[in-house]
Amino acid sequence: EVQLVESGGGLVQPGGSLRLSCEGSGFTFSSYWMSWVRQAPGKGLEWVAHINQDGRQKYYVDSVQGRFTISRDNAQNSLYLQMNSLRAEDTAVYFCASKWVDAPGTDYWGQGTLVIVSS
Amino acid sequence: DIQMTQSPSSLSASVGDRVTITCRASQGIRNDLGWYQQKPGKAPKRLIYAASTLQSGVPSRFSGSGSGTEFILTISSLQPEDFATYYCLQYNSHPYTFGQGTKLEIK
């Protein structure tokens, strides 16, 4: 069974940092691009970042560029999102995902982890 | 950035109805478009990619069409489990962008 399990969410003050993790199992993690997608409370979906199979290609939405860093450890089947200089507008559920854009076959999503940025 | 304008933002329909949802891109994106379904409290689920390719396991009542700047998701005969929010996504260029979503509700 394929699983993506996020962790690391929580309450953080504006300007603070948080590191999200996503552990994959049941599929060949190292073969696919991995992404973070977020959803603010009551709002729509927003693509945040993604990273290619060997970690050399990374792309970010403009609003997080320079503050967030995506990385992966294929030996640990894990994806990360280091979030610095957090703002209230970063408050959202963060989903990790794989094979969810243009790869054939079933898309894989985690259950999401909630990040709340508030004083 | 490419803007995706999705319409309508909400839609009331009955079981058995045929419904269409439209996404317009601010510039041409070939067929680099996907459609996603999301139910409350759950992760999204991909329905269609490459504008018209049905994800395996997705019922054939879902279909997608379009190319360039205008795209349509059609549900041919609504079932109770189809009431959800639908999003389009363009992946032609970074940053990838979603439409605002269409909430499909039971009439």
User: In chain A, where do the E strands start and end?
Assistant: 3-7, 10-12, 18-25, 34-39, 45-51, 58-60, 68-73, 78-83, 92-98, 108-109, 113-117
- pLDDT for residue A60: 98
**Does the beta-carbon distance from B98 to A60 stay under 8 Å?**
no
CB-CB contact of A49 with A36 (8 Å): yes
- Span A55-113, pLDDT tens digits: 999 999 999 999 999 999 999 999 999 999 999 999 999 999 999 988 888 899 999 99
Say which of A61, A100, A112 has its CB closest to residue B46: A100
- pLDDT for residue A40: 98
- Span B31-45, pLDDT tens digits: 999 999 999 999 999
Query: Please, which residues have CB within 8 angstroms of residue B34's CB and are 6 or more apart in sequence?
Result: A101, A102, B46, B47, B48, B49, B50, B88, B89, B91
**CB of B89 less than 8 A from some CB of A:** yes
Nearest CA in chain A to B58: A106
- Span B51-64, pLDDT tens digits: 999 999 999 999 99
**CB of A59 less than 8 A from some CB of B:** yes
> How high is the mean pLDDT in each 10-residue block of chain B (107 residues)?
97 96 98 97 97 96 98 97 97 96 95
- pLDDT for residue A103: 87
CB-CB contact of A8 with A27 (8 Å): no
Would you tell me which residues 36-55 of chain A have a C-beta closer than 8 angstroms to some C-beta of chain B?
A: 37, 44-47
Say which of B34, B43, B98 has its CB closest to residue A110: B43
Q: How far apart are CA B49 and CA B41, in angstroms?
A: 23
Nearest CA in chain B to A63: B95
- Span A41-60, pLDDT tens digits: 999 999 999 999 999 999 99
